[in-house]
Structure 1
């Protein structure tokens, strides 16, 4: 398209080609008092100058952004600013986006779960819940699940603290996860399954022991070291390397502290021997019962935690047993020079 002359007046056909608007749209904006023609030909045809063409291009852009005619009119006559118009319109668009996300989440859930017609209204209510409503629903769930759980109260508080916090502007995936979680925590079978899993796992002598402060924090510390060992092992870090020995030493120090023993050279030597024995015992245990245990966790408390992590936008830590590189740690403990390392603050 040729250059625009600041002093020239252009017929409506040229203006249409330059702005991408139809002739009828340009006439409509003139009749609505949005952008008036600059002048007319002797035959009464409308003419537009450069400034009018620029205003029409702005109108086209704002209309594509769904701005209303009254808002555009106020902008062009100077009763509002582009910044104020954009701010107000952005708030409107964001509210519309949230509603569309909620609808999308409901529809995707219906498609994925083949939901019944009577569930549609319920799902729509779930995505429209307030923060207080969501908190109340989760509180009711944990009140029932924890009732009669024979563990330290601090552990119950730890369980209850793992709860969903739906952000102000959730993604469709977060809304889908909330719909599923809200549906699950109200389901009697799911409540019974989670309650049974937690009671069977922790309402035992050993379970009560590992839920009593500060044991849970200590166990998490050991699990963190073990995850570090697993990552290093899978990355191919040599067991006799200083880095591997450092991980093994921290594991030995943690285990000595947990068991109330001293982290001595003899303790580490015995730990290395025990790890080699445990390697075979662990393999047998996995074959006999671990698959069932992990599956039960995944279907109950694990599913709850996974959905909460999705809703909160965090990474879910798999609480199933961390695979232990027994032989790798034992080799690191027995590596030349390993036993001469300091006992990490624990005196024999």
Structure 2
């Protein structure tokens, strides 16, 4: 068709696959202006209106609001600029929806109370700055003033574009940092750790837990002579504290192991080696040795 072809509203609707009501709305809004009018005042549209409506439909399908669509079709705003802005807005919406899904999935899986749901929702929505403040407050309460040299390795750093697992891990870890009992238990444990190293400042600064991890053999019967030999080797180590049993029971706190696991997920680190089997075996072997000595 040549450029002189004009369409009525009904014809334009059929040409573009839209409804008469939609074409009339766009015309009334001035987004698709008529090229001419009949003597009776009926609007007529040129062939450019076909391309204009096609563009409008595409932009609307992509979620752009009507004022933005008007700017694009009137060339008041470039399409690339509008697309970039809208893509950024969609990214923000997607992140919000992902956070909501993660929280709801956690609630469904854990049977959370309304109070826990509210806390999880607030933690999930924290900004990067707010997350840093929350973690810093926890680390200061648990480790402040203690020269243990491990605070940096215990700091979660959620990436800018985390996956669902990282978001879920962050929410759970943040909940842990708000548990006063966990904070207090962590503080007590590392006060003991710091005190032990203060008494033995000569390098290497090793914790007895590392010695147990390397030496314990869960495959052995805890009551066997071989296990007793391992226990005697460990208890004779210079890093062994006087209150070894209570210290190891504090180290074995499942909340601590959970924190380290969640930390690895958030930071994209390999999962930590499970410590519980070695500690549990050693504590049983220690009890067996103590019982035999008492007998």
TM over 0.5: yes
Distance 2:75 2:257 in 1: 59
User: 5 Å matches for 1:1-348?
Assistant: 5-7=1-3, 8-40=5-37, 46-146=43-143, 153=147, 156-192=148-184, 194=186, 283-284=219-220, 299-312=254-267, 314-320=268-274
Deviation at 1:84, TM superposition (A): 1.9
Could you say what secondary structure the match of 1:283 adopts? coil
Q: Is the 8 A contact 2:264 2:272 kept in 1?
A: no
Cα deviation per residue 1:116-155 (whole Å; 9 max; x = unaligned)?
Answer: 2223333332223233432332233233433697xxx3xx
CA deviations 1:215-254 (Å, max 9, x no partner) are 69xx8xxx9xx9xxxxxxxxxxxxxxxxxxxxxxxxxxxx
State whether residues 6 and 44 of structure 2, in contact with CA within 8 Å, keep that contact through their aligned partners in structure 1. Answer: yes
Shift of 1:159: 3.9
The offset of 1:63, in angstroms, is 1.1
The 8 Å contact of residues 145 and 195 in structure 1, kept in 2 or not, is answered as yes
Structure 1 CA distance, aligned partners of 2:84 and 2:185?
49
Relative distance call for 1:147 and 1:49 in structure 2 (3 A) is closer
User: Matched residue of 1:102: which SS?
Assistant: helix
Task: Tell me how far apart the structure 2 counterparts of residues 302 and 318 of structure 1 sit (CA, whole Å).
Answer: 9
CA contact (8 A) 1:21 1:60 kept: no
- CA separation of 1:53/1:211 partners in 2, compared to 1, >3 Å: closer, same or farther? farther
| Structure 2 partner of 1:263 | none
For residues 191 and 205 of structure 1, the distance between their equivalents in structure 2, rounded to whole angstroms, comes to 20
User: 1:46 & 1:25 partners in 2: Cα distance?
Assistant: 14
Following superposition, the deviation at residue 60 of structure 1 comes to 0.7
Structure-1 residue corresponding to 2:285: none
Give the C-alpha shift of residue 28 in structure 1.
0.3
Q: CA–CA distance in 2 between the matches of 1:284 and 1:77?
A: 80
Q: Counterparts of 2:84 and 2:274 in 1: how far apart (Å)?
A: 48
Structure 1 alignment gaps of length 5 or more: 227-277, 324-348
Supply the distance in 2 between the matched residues of 1:122 and 1:133 (Cα, whole angstroms): 14
TM-score, length basis structure 2: 0.66
SS at 1:284 equivalent: coil
Q: Structure 1 residues 192 and 284, CA, compared in 2 at 3 Å: closer, same or farther? A: farther
Q: Distance in 1 between matches of 2:15 and 2:253?
A: 62
Task: Output the aligned Cα RMSD.
Answer: 4.2
Aligned residues: 250
Q: 1:71 to 1:137 in 2, by over 3 A?
A: closer
* Displacement of 1:79: 1.8
In structure 1, what is the Cα distance between the partners aligned to 2:270 and 2:185? 20
Q: Offset at 1:298?
A: 8.2
Q: How far apart, CA to CA, are the structure 2 residues paired with 1:287 and 1:53? A: 87
What is the deviation of 1:6? 4.5
SS in 2 for 1:74: helix
- Check the 8 A contact 2:56/2:73 in 1, yes or no: no
Q: Deviations over 1:200-220 (max 9, x none)?
A: 8x57979x989955769xx8x
DSSP-derived class of the 1:300 partner? helix
Report the TM-score when normalising by structure 1. Answer: 0.57
Looking at structure 2, the residues matched to 31 and 41 of structure 1 have their Cα atoms a distance apart, in angstroms, of 17
